[in-house]
Copies of this chain bind each other. A is one copy, B any other.
Amino acid sequence: MSDAAPRRRRDPETRRRVIVTAAAELIVETGVGALTHRSIAARAGVPLGATTQYFATLDELRGEALRHLAAEIDARVEGIRATLAVRGTTPAVLTDLILQGLADARALEADRAVVTAAVNDPQLRELARRWSEQMAGFLVADHGRDRATAAAIFIDGVLWHSRIDDAPLSASLIESALAGILGDSIRPPSESE
């Protein structure tokens, strides 16, 4: 029944990660603007001082958290890339992947959080652009620059829609739109390999 909180084990690596993760969660849930040392410490279950021990300023910690989110997103994007390489970049495949992505609420929120944060912070623009640019990059070989970009923009719109709107979009709506955007550049995936 001793109420003196025992000093924690020394494991800087883990602690850093716990703090960054907590900050990332809070950004997703409440936005970058609401981030405070206190809220992070509470969420991470560490004393206030720990949040300033590893990061010189809140700005730095915020940056780490956003990069953490970006890394999460990158990992998913890499999965998408791999799938597209195997199954082809047809509207059906893309729609499938989008619906999968929408089903992962956490992933969706992380992605939109980064973009949202970028609206009022030019330094984050590059981070925010990445997802969309990579998606366009995956499509450009098969569909050309303009169609690829337009498709990526449409997909971005879909993600936003699902973040703001409660009614989910139907697969056929998404697939038809993509088919229209990609037009006659659509070809079945190559048989080889």
Chain A interfacial positions (CB closer than 8 Å to B): 29-34, 112-113, 115-116, 118-120, 125, 128-129, 132, 146-147, 149-151, 153-158, 160-161, 163-166, 169-170, 172-174, 176-177, 179-183
- Copies of this chain per assembly: 4
**What are 24 A-B contacts defined by CB distance under 8 Å?**
A29-B120, A31-B119, A31-B120, A32-B33, A33-B33, A33-B120, A116-B116, A119-B164, A125-B165, A129-B165, A146-B176, A147-B177, A150-B176, A150-B177, A150-B180, A153-B158, A153-B160, A153-B177, A156-B161, A176-B183, A177-B181, A179-B180, A180-B183, A181-B181
Which one of A33, A118, A125, A147 has the greatest number of beta carbons of chain B within 10 Å? A33
- How far, in angstroms, from A138 to B156 measured CA to CA in the complex? 22
A115 touches B164 (CB 8 A): yes
Within 8 Å CB of A30, what residues of B? Answer: 120
